[in-house]
A = this chain, B = another copy of it.
């Protein structure tokens, strides 16, 4: 006969941990723990096959299932010397659903099944706590009524409320045992009224009805929709877990507690936890009674303590990791209710991983899989001293991690000025490229608008600087230099603290500390990661300071230097604007030549400044590659805003004043109008600029090669990689490359030295990925710009779509924000396609990624799978990327060996 029911108890289970198909996730876990020798409350699992059989049998339990369940129940009763509904030793059980995949909409837990009018009294007597007994009974009736009999929760809540009102109570905790007796009577009436039948007093009937209810819940509409959306087959079915209830409040030989096998904050190897005697689990965490350190259990119940230490130590070895466990002692007998991998801080995670290797429990490779790359963040940024009280006054988005403390300023200029004496926090409604110089000197940034990929967020992450963005409750009045949060008014110069890791905004001057990333464990751990990973890790850095940070964090080069950031500095912007004023179209050849000459003149002023920028970068990265992207953003970003000009002009005109300023404004507006675009993201930018105005590329190439040549003369090894952005067609790249190569030869000839360099391209348009084979005929490297590639693939502007993304993630249309986590199905597919087709033309094509995704672990795994050579990310994310790259390599090795095993078999 087919086996439908799997018993577990007394350190032995019929099933085991890998049988999720048969036992569901929860049932497999219970079997695993039991087999691991844990004293888990015994019980049995009714297999998913029984669910299928139930449906095939017209929604009735087949005889074979019922009889096997009865047998298992008898075995359970024998083991515990308790019986369902027994008047001496009544058995109480929980009933839970448990499918292969966890699924919303499935049946909730039913606790305390087996309670009835008789059992509740025995229970009251045994616990010496009638209130608890009657509360447990009424909870059981309510859960049973709602889940099994399909009566709405409201109807039960109504009765409870009525009782509280009658007694003028406001809290459930004020109700006595007698109150609950009245509530129970009310509940029973509801059930009779709605179902036409009495609440079943026979625990066997209760159990059968609960099992059937679990099976039925497989087909409730929410579960069906969820399966359809997530492609879970409809014919899997769910299992049912029936497990003995245990109670820690059955007198002074009972108790309950929680613990960790090691300290989850520091990672130190010491038994850690707390407990309460004669208490339930909720009492430990509720804070009414103060729990006792677990070491004291040694005094109270030495045998139980020894058993617990022995079990948890075994657990740590069995699961090869720190365990977070819950236990209950019922009348002197220890039960393990739960054990799971313990959550820990980043610092602890690294220490534990390294220690476990040293203890011989895991290998270095296993250790690498034990630390979430994101956790390393905590080891890289200053953190708030949480031991001191913090006055949190608002919460925004944790846009860029770390803590910052400083005096509030409201403009970039003030940041520069005031930042000379004290650290400053720059507070803006939102930041714009103009604010860069202020952001550079600020300790942290707070904005009231914008999301996780707003300008402030992206730039600060790049700088490794703390940022709290989109803090909706902050009203920023930059004109009056006042920040209002609720009734609190913060003026310029007031102290403010930010926690960019949680988004907290704290009034006053909090204390911070900087963890030491050079500590032994961290260094050991990162060395293992570097040995394992195959992906290179570079950093996105525009200035020498960032480049040096990146190098210290282990970056192996610069994957993206955005030259436009260099254009915004106040000594440069006038030249940039002069150049833009000459970016005019004309069909007249002479006029065109005049404009080009004017552009060249303006660019000539920028040349020495850019050369200096690049020299600094090459010097900082001596011996490592530096990828420099030619000018990318639309030109109007360097000019005043169109609508602001229009308003200024309208205001002056309405006032009827003639002023020379009006003429200037109108002239500027005419230029801005000429450059105005409805969709600048899809407009005149990237290599299109260099193709329309080749002088720009020429000047930048000249600055790069002159700087590189100067380096070489001074013994610095510059390795420039010139990157052309927004290419969609090989001919675009060919034309730009021609300029770069020509300028390089001119410079080398003039300077009398040659420098090795590469010319490559961003792949950031679907068009580029789709014609990668052609493009690689010209490109010596590819760098996937996955920010723009995501924007164009999805037709989704990241500046505009915050609301849409939030809504889509909430509605589960997308698993995550595609700008935070690389979409593997579409964008990732283009990355793979572009890489493999590019290498058809050029087998040794170097391929990297330089979007924000380059620092995201899940995205790094996609990059590894696509066979990329490197990822490039913010300097402060370099260690995270190194670890993620190592994990991706390990994961892939595992998959490959699984495939090989499959092929061999």
Contact = CB atoms under 8 A, between A and B. Distances in A.
Given A642-B643, A650-B651, A684-B801, A767 B793 contact: yes
Interface stretch (A80-88, A254-262, A725-733, A866-874): A725-733
Interface string A779-795: 00000000010011111
Contact of A682 (B679, B691, B771): B679
Contacts of A680: 678-679, 800
Contacts of A801: 682-684
A834 to B, nearest CB: 12
A825 B650 CA distance: 48
A409 B684 CA distance: 34
Contacts of A647: 646-647, 650
Closest 4 pairs between A and B when the two form their complex, measured CB to CB: A654-B654, A682-B797, A679-B797, A766-B766
A444 B680 CA distance: 31
B795 A728 contact: yes
A229 B682 CA distance: 25
Interface stretch (A278-286, A811-819, A883-891): A811-819
Contact of A813 (B585, B648, B729): B729
A807 interface: yes
Contact of A728 (B726, B811, B826): B826
Contact of A770 (B652, B681, B728, B793): B793
Contact of A585 (B651, B774, B803): B803
A862 interface: no
A655 interface: yes
A681 B682 contact: yes
Contact of A732 (B728, B735, B767, B813): B813
A228 interface: yes
A312 to B, nearest CB: 42
A811 B678 contact: no
Nearest to A649: B647
A816 B829 CA distance: 28
A771 B826 contact: yes
Interface in A747-785: 764-767, 770-771, 774
Contacts of A198: none
A682 B800 contact: yes
A256 to B, nearest CB: 37
A734 interface: yes
Contact of A651 (B651, B767, B795, B808): B651
A405 B337 CA distance: 88
23 contacts: A229-B731, A647-B647, A678-B797, A679-B679, A679-B680, A679-B797, A682-B797, A682-B801, A684-B804, A688-B804, A728-B795, A729-B813, A731-B813, A735-B813, A767-B793, A767-B823, A767-B826, A770-B793, A770-B825, A770-B830, A792-B792, A792-B793, A792-B795
B770 A829 contact: yes
A680 to B, nearest CB: 7
A236 interface: no
A692 interface: yes
A826 B642 contact: no
A677 interface: yes
A799 B679 CA distance: 8
A385 interface: no
A647 B665 CA distance: 14
Given A229-B731, A679-B680, 13 more contacts: A643-B643, A646-B647, A651-B654, A682-B800, A684-B801, A688-B804, A728-B793, A732-B813, A766-B793, A767-B794, A767-B823, A770-B830, A792-B795
A796 interface: yes
A830 B767 CA distance: 10
A803 B807 CA distance: 37
A748 B791 CA distance: 40
Contacts of A812: 731
A228 B774 CA distance: 12
Given A647-B650, A813-B731, A825 B681 contact: no
* Copies of this chain per assembly: 2
A640 to B, nearest CB: 13
A826 B728 CA distance: 9
Contacts of A770: 793, 825-826, 829-830
Contacts of A829: 770
A653 interface: yes
A259 to B, nearest CB: 38
Please indicate which of the listed interface residues A691, A728, A814, A827 has the most CB atoms of chain B within 10 Å of its own CB. Answer: A728
A767 B795 contact: yes
Contacts of A830: 766, 770
Contacts of A814: 729
A682 B795 contact: yes
Contacts of A655: 654-655
B684 A800 contact: yes
Contacts of A728: 793-796, 826
A157 B355 CA distance: 88
A658 to B, nearest CB: 15
A651 B651 CA distance: 5
Nearest to A692: B807
Given A691-B807, A766-B766, A795-B726, A734 B228 contact: yes
Interface string A659-693: 00000000000000000011111111010100110
A800 B643 contact: no
B683 A797 contact: yes
Contacts of A229: 731, 734
Nearest to A799: B678
A766 to B, nearest CB: 4
A823 to B, nearest CB: 8
B765 A691 contact: no
A823 B765 CA distance: 14
A629 to B, nearest CB: 15
Interface in A565-592: 585
A679 B681 CA distance: 7
A788 B793 CA distance: 11
Nearest to A766: B766
B734 A811 contact: no
Contacts of A681: 678-679, 682, 795, 797
Contact of A692 (B793, B799, B804, B826): B804
A788 B679 CA distance: 13
A765 B652 CA distance: 45
A635 to B, nearest CB: 12
Contact of A795 (B653, B734, B765, B807): B765
Nearest to A773: B825
A684 B356 CA distance: 50
Contact of A654 (B650, B793, B811, B826): B650
Given A691-B811, A811-B735, A797 B677 contact: yes
B825 A771 contact: yes
A27 to B, nearest CB: 30
A681 to B, nearest CB: 4
A245 to B, nearest CB: 36
Interface string A84-115: 00000000000000000000000000000000
Contacts of A677: 797, 799-800
Given A650-B650, A653-B651, A729-B814, A678 B800 contact: yes
Contact of A800 (B646, B683, B692, B791): B683
Please indicate which of the listed interface residues A585, A647, A680 has the most CB atoms of chain B within 10 Å of its own CB. Answer: A647
A837 to B, nearest CB: 11
